[in-house]
Amino acid sequence: MMNRLRAHHGNPRGRATGAAVRRDGFGAKRCYEVLIAEIGGKPAGYLLFHDAYDPTEAERGFYMADLHVEARARRRKVGRALMAALAHEAKRRKRDFLWWISNGWNDTARAFYADLGAEDEPVVAHALSEPALAALAAEAVKPSSASLPSGRRGRRLRARR
């Protein structure tokens, strides 16, 4: 289903292999969670999400990375059921928001989200991938040997001279 969604959006396919899904979505260090809808015991759609944080509002939430409903299951409220399940999970975990992006050309998705009560936000999404990611990483300053107070996460950086 992940690769069908990628194809629909005109994105590269084949990267969401079984090995990649197991590596990133299962185990103690998983980086996302998935909700799967079924009809008649067969997968009908999925919603992939992960934790998010809004520093402006100092709120925790979820970022929805993927929502896909199989063609045979469309117009059967599968997408709405997946979104409702995510909203329920957000409230259960004391999260304050759901956030996602959609393609400007996808009028069907935008109408669906509006029907849920979502508002369009005036933002532009940015992405940095290879080789630009590697080039920028090469410019990084080295972390200092000074540690942060016990139990804190993060790194202190020394500026280059």
* pLDDT tens digit sequence for 46-90: 999 999 999 999 999 999 999 999 999 999 999 999 999 999 999
Domains of the chain: 2-127 (3.40.630.30)
Q: Rounded to whole angstroms, what are the CA distances from 141 to 113, 129, 133, 134, 138?
A: 42, 20, 15, 14, 9
- Check residues 100 and 144 and name the one with the higher pLDDT: 100
| pLDDT on residue 1 | 60
Report phi then psi at 117, rounded to 5: 105, 5
Q: Could you say which DSSP state residue 27 is in? A: S
* pLDDT tens digit sequence for 11-47: 665 667 778 778 878 888 899 999 999 999 999 999 9
- Check residues 133 and 24 and name the one with the higher pLDDT: 133
Per the DSSP assignment, residues forming a β-bridge with 99 are 63
| pLDDT on residue 28 | 84
Nearest-angstrom CA–CA distance, 95 and 21? 25
pLDDT at residue 107 is higher than 50:
yes
Among the residues of the chain, which ranges form H helices?
2-9, 18-25, 78-92, 107-116, 132-137
pTM of the model: 0.77
3 pLDDT band, cuts 50/70/90, is low
